[in-house]
């Protein structure tokens, strides 16, 4: 597939790397000369220096031959114009655009075939806010993901030193009476991603992801020793950018008392016109005196959502020390994500990864329904459709030799049944199959899974 990516920033680079790995022919348009040199060295892609909103630049990049356009520059205007140029000067079948504007819902209404003809509009803050809201009232849970239209859930947690599961093997946990359709599918130990087998032992500080159907979620929380969900009443948000405002508005709608900290006075005045019951505090939310003066002790959640990863990490650690029940940090540098977990931050989210996952889910559609990237691209959860003729279909899992570093986490049948499989389960045509695998195995797994097509 020929793919033209507008914008060679972090998101464009991550998407390009994935598509190149899957044997797509990728061209990147980037305006910054120094960044172009870096991309040329780092990726097996053609790099064209120029503006994404320039007809000549896009023609030089081969827009007329592209099958897919992914517009992820830092400018909403350039992303929209790039899609319009593609519509006018090529036969690009799929167009994706990232838009950061708060008017994204109005833009989405204009992106149909009759007007802008953009197939997918992604709003980074909306994607991230959705993930944050799932876990804001769960102190012991880092994130909750959904697959198979919500029929499969995955929750992440860090194993505390005093947990009863410490020192237990996977086989011993399986014999201890967990919910029947639950499975520890992947764990992270320091910088290492592990697809666990029966003899693997859980250690304090391991970060695990557990697969379970929604109806067994609370039972699985109890089994793993996760704290009971809190009724969220008080939340502090640091950072008055669009993400902070988006989450404040959602929390307001749930009757939560929110305080939003922003250093810039003019920005505070603007925020005050957008929210209804949120208290806007013109102060440094990373400062201990400021947090103490606003009575941080005992708050249900502290959300550090500034544009600076280091500030978010430090503020989250401070909030935990001052008595916040849960700390959530926005961390966009992928190499910082494991650090947040190791330091004891309850949840860390990357807006960039949320956008990348959404793009990959869309561009792979037809064979891939969902994608979730874990940490620094170390591992992936990928939801595939089983097709007639694949070598994995119709055989018991114990007889199938999956690549080492890959595991079937769950099977969602067309009937609605969800199975977290053991060795005697089979994959049948039409099943949605959730795999967990180390990132370098994704192309091998995908090609084998759809071999019969």
Do residues 133 and 118 share a domain? no
- Separate counts of helices (H) and strands (E) for the chain: 15, 22
Do residues 82 and 188 share a domain? no
Do residues 321 and 377 share a domain? no
Closest residue by Cα to residue 254 from 155, 143, 133:
133
pLDDT digit string, tens, across residues 278-335: 999 999 999 999 999 999 999 999 999 999 999 999 999 999 999 999 999 999 888 8
User: What's 149's domain CATH number?
Assistant: 3.30.70.1450
For residue 133, the enclosing domain spans: 129-224
Averaged confidence pLDDT in the chain: 90
> Of 181-185, 198-202, 204-208, 363-367, which range is least confident?
363-367
In a domain, 229, yes or no: no
pTM of the model: 0.86
Domain count of the fold of the chain: 4
- Domain C-terminal end among 303, 328, 353: 353
Do residues 85 and 40 share a domain? yes
Closest residue by Cα to residue 345 from 166, 190, 139:
139
Residues 6+ apart with CB under 8 A from 235: 136, 251, 256, 257, 258, 259, 299, 300, 301, 302, 303
Number of neighbouring beta carbons within 10 Å of residue 228: 12
Whether 244 and 305 have beta carbons less than 8 Å apart is answered as: yes
Edge-to-edge strand list for the sheet holding 327-330: 279-281, 257-261, 234-238, 301-304, 327-330, 347-349
Pairing of strands 347-349, 368-374: unpaired
In a domain, 358, yes or no: no
- Domain C-terminal end among 353, 377, 409: 353
Strand partners, 370: 383
Per-residue CA distances from 360 to 250, 367, 382 (Å):
27, 11, 10
Do residues 405 and 433 share a domain? yes
**Which residue did the predictor score with more confidence, 298 or 395?**
298
Whether 65 and 2 have beta carbons less than 8 Å apart is answered as: yes
Kindly tell me if the per-residue pLDDT of 391 is higher than 80: no
Do residues 368 and 335 share a domain? no
| Average of per-residue pLDDT across 59-66 | 95
Confidence of residue 452 (pLDDT cuts 50, 70, 90): very low
**In whole angstroms, what is the distance from residue 298 CA to residue 46 CA?**
53
Do residues 184 and 286 share a domain? no
The secondary structure of 2-44, three-state, reads: EEEEECCCHHHHHHHHHHHHCCCEEEEEECCHHHHHHHHHHCC
- Domain C-terminal end among 122, 155, 175: 122
In a domain, 88, yes or no: yes
Share of residues in the chain with pLDDT > 90 (%): 60
Q: Which residues of 305-322 are buried (b: 16+ CB within 10 A; e: fewer)?
A: bbeebebbbebbbbbbeb
Do residues 377 and 343 share a domain? no
In a domain, 397, yes or no: yes
Do residues 339 and 371 share a domain? no
Helix (H) or strand (E) holding 357: helix 351-363
Do residues 213 and 166 share a domain? yes
pLDDT of 407: 87
pLDDT of 382: 84
Pairing of strands 257-261, 234-238: parallel
In a domain, 195, yes or no: yes
pLDDT of 390: 75
- For residue 63, the Cα-to-chain-centroid distance in whole angstroms is 29
Do residues 117 and 143 share a domain? no
User: What's 104's domain CATH number?
Assistant: 3.40.50.720
Closest residue by Cα to residue 298 from 324, 267, 266, 272:
324
Do residues 326 and 367 share a domain? no
pLDDT of 106: 85
């Amino acid at each position: 597939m020929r793919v033209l990516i507008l914008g060679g920033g972090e998101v464009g680079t991550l998407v390009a790397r994935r598509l190149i790995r899957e044997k797509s022919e990728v061209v990147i348009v980037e305006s910054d000369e120094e960044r172009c040199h870096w991309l040329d060295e780092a990726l097996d892609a053609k790099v064209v220096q120029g503006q994404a909103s320039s007809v000549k630049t896009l023609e030089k990049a081969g827009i007329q031959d592209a099958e897919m356009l992914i517009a992820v520059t830092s400018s909403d205007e350039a992303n929209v114009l790039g899609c319009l140029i593609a519509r006018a000067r090529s036969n690009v079948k799929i167009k994706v655009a990232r838009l950061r504007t708060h008017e994204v819902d109005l833009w989405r209404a204009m992106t149909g075939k009759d007007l802008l003809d953009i197939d997918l509009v992604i709003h980074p803050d909306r994607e991230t806010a959705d993930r944050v809201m799932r876990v804001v009232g769960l102190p012991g849970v880092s994130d909750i993901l959904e697959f198979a239209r919500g029929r499969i859930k995955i929750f992440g947690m860090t194993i505390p030193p005093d947990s009863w599961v410490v020192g237990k093997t996977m086989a011993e946990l399986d014999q201890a009476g967990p919910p029947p359709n639950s499975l520890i599918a992947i764990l992270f130990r320091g910088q290492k991603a592990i697809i666990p087998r029966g003899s693997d032992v859980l250690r304090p500080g391991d970060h695990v992801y557990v697969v379970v159907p929604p109806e067994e979620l609370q039972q699985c929380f109890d089994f793993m020793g996760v704290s009971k969900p809190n009724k969220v009443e008080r939340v502090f948000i640091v950072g008055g950018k669009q993400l902070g405002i988006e989450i404040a508005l959602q929390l307001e709608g749930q009757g939560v008392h929110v305080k939003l900290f922003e250093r810039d006075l003019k920005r505070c005045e603007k925020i005050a016109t957008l929210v209804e019951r949120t208290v806007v505090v013109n102060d440094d939310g990373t400062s201990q005196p400021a947090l103490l003066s606003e009575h941080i002790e005992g708050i249900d959640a502290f959300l550090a959502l500034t544009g600076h990863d280091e500030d978010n990490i430090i503020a989250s650690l401070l909030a935990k020390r001052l008595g916040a029940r849960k700390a959530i940090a926005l961390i966009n540098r992928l190499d910082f994500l494991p650090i947040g977990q190791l330091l004891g931050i309850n949840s860390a989210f990357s807006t960039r990864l949320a956008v990348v996952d959404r793009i990959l889910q869309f561009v792979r559609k037809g064979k891939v329904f969902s994608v979730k990237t874990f940490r620094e691209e170390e591992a992936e959860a990928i939801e595939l459709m089983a097709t007639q003729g694949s070598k994995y279909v119709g055989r018991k899992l114990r007889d199938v030799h999956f690549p080492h570093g890959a595991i079937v986490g769950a099977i969602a049948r067309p009937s609605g049944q969800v199975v977290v499989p053991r060795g005697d389960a089979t994959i049948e045509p039409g099943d949605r199959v959730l795999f967990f695998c180390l990132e370098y195995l994704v192309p091998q797994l995908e090609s084998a899974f759809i071999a019969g097509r």
